Amino acid sequence: MSRQLEGDIGQTLLDAAWSDLGQLTVETGPALSLEAKRDRIELIIDQIVVDPATGRGASHTPTEKRVRIRWR
């Protein structure tokens, strides 16, 4: 039971932190330079990998299946 409670509390804290980051981005984003925006993104995203489309056309492989994000 305590592991479930720990998991729930951890998820609640993570959700709150993500929400706070989103709000901060909305409020300060327009005032930041492009370089500052990139620096902020690099703090949370380590790598973005886009696999090539397969099949006879790009529409055969949905984008959401080709893009992988590795978080820090």
Residue 56 is predicted with a pLDDT of: 67
Domain that holds residue 54: 32-72
* 10/26 same-domain check: yes
Q: Say if residue 23 is in the same domain as residue 40.
A: no
Q: For residue 30, what is the DSSP state?
A: G
The string of pLDDT tens digits covering residues 14-46 is 888 888 877 877 788 788 888 988 888 888 888
Q: In 3D, which of 27, 52, 37 has the Cα closest to residue 19?
A: 27
Together in a domain, 3 and 38: no
For the cut 60, the answer to whether the pLDDT of residue 58 exceeds it is no
Domain total for the chain? 2
- In this structure, the answer to whether residues 19 and 36 fall within a common structural domain is no
Q: Give me the residues paired with residue 71 across strands.
A: 45
pLDDT of residue 35: 92
Residue 55 has pLDDT above 60, yes or no: yes
pTM value > 0.85: no
Distances, alpha carbon 10 to alpha carbons 20, 50, 52, 69, in Å: 15, 30, 36, 22
Whether residues 38 and 22 share a domain: the answer is no
Q: Specify whether 27 is located in the same domain as 49.
A: no
CA atoms within 13 A on the CB side of 9: 6
